[in-house]
């Protein structure tokens, strides 16, 4: 483990512990605190250990004394799945603590999150009814799973995200995200959202205009080019690099979740790790 990651995890633990404070809870306090749980979850992703059982054997050897108590694999898995709301709030806390939070340019896109390949898996999985079949244009193939809809800044900082069945239109998901989290648009005059052709919609255009938001996306070949369209390509490549980081370095496609709570927690775990890395780099850079 490098000194840089040691420093990141220490700063992350202090930040989360201060944020959570000493909120009263009924019953016996857990041996592994929420701040330790989130720090442990981020460390697992950054160090690339996908197996929870192997990770809990890895920690005492490589991080001696860092975590006074470690649960068993089953206990860790249950705590992590129950911590999905906590993971989501922690992502927002770290994002708001960076200078990138006030950015007035957003990039939006979705990417496949495969959850199974064999036909028996699709029929027996606990994800059946939520996951479904969708088409991945970048790989020209069908997949069974979900789509991760991500809104981030051009620097790659995740602002908000959602998981949805591939059958739901990207434009509808974007409107649902903004309806669910209206505070995102507060105090952002002149906000510009950059998207691809999948977000072409008169309904979406009206929705965003009513909220003072501009949408910049490519036009179809038989339409008049939109103002500023020539600047789209380099900005669009930025969110592709974020998706590549999540998949290539943080093992997004190897999440291993088998239930809605498990998939949600593991995706949030990876987004929190990405956010924590950016937060720490901005603070120390």
In the chain (285 residues long), the average pLDDT of successive 10-residue segments reads 75 95 68 94 93 93 86 94 95 96 92 83 78 82 90 93 93 96 91 88 93 83 59 68 83 83 93 96 85
Q: What is the predicted pLDDT for the residue at 157?
A: 94
Cα separations in angstroms, 147 against 6, 11, 135, 216 = 33, 32, 10, 22
Q: pTM surpassing 0.75?
A: yes
Question: What's the CA gap between 30 and 38, in Å, rounded?
Answer: 14
Q: How many CB atoms lie within 10 A of CB 171?
A: 17
**Cβ atoms 275, 91 nearer than 8 A:** yes
**Cβ atoms 122, 144 nearer than 8 A:** yes
Q: Dihedral sign for Cα 183, 214, 207, 152, please.
A: negative
**Cβ atoms 277, 95 nearer than 8 A:** no
Q: What is the predicted pLDDT for the residue at 130?
A: 85
Alpha helices in the chain (DSSP H): 3-20, 34-46, 52-62, 73-82, 84-96, 119-124, 170-180, 202-210, 232-244, 260-284
Q: What is the predicted pLDDT for the residue at 122?
A: 73
Q: What is the predicted pLDDT for the residue at 9?
A: 92
Q: How many CB atoms lie within 10 A of CB 79?
A: 18
Q: What is the predicted pLDDT for the residue at 219?
A: 65
Q: Give the long-range contacts of residues 121-125, CB within 8 A, separation 24 or more.
A: 125/258
Q: What is the predicted pLDDT for the residue at 1?
A: 37
Question: What's the CA gap between 245 and 86, in Å, rounded?
Answer: 23
């Amino acid at each position: 483990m490098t000194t840089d990651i040691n420093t990141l995890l220490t700063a992350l633990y202090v930040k989360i512990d201060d944020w959570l404070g000493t909120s009263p809870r009924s019953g016996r306090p857990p041996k592994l605190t929420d701040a330790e749980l989130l720090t442990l979850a981020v460390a697992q992703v950054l160090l690339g250990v996908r197996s929870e059982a192997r990770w809990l054997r890895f920690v005492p050897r490589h991080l001696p004394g860092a975590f006074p108590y470690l649960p068993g694999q089953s206990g860790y898995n249950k705590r992590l799945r129950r911590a999905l709301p906590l993971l989501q709030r922690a992502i927002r806390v770290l994002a708001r603590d960076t200078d990138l939070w006030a950015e007035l340019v957003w990039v939006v896109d979705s990417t496949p999150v495969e959850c199974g390949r064999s036909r028996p898996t699709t029929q027996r999985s606990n994800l059946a009814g939520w996951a479904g079949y969708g088409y991945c244009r970048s790989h020209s193939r069908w997949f069974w799973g979900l789509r991760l809809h991500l809104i981030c800044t051009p620097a790659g900082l995740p602002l908000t995200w959602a998981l949805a069945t591939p059958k739901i239109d990207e434009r509808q998901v974007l409107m649902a995200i903004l309806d669910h989290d209206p505070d995102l648009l507060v105090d952002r005059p002149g906000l510009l959202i950059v998207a691809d052709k999948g977000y072409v919609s008169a309904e979406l255009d009206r929705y965003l205009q009513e909220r003072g938001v501009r949408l910049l996306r490519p036009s179809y070949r038989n339409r008049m080019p939109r103002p500023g369209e020539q600047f789209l390509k380099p900005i669009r490549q930025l969110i592709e690099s974020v998706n590549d980081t999540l998949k290539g370095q943080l093992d997004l496609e190897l999440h291993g979740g088998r239930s809605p709570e498990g998939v949600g927690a593991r995706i949030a775990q990876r987004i929190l790790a990405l956010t924590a890395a950016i937060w720490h780099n901005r603070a120390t850079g």
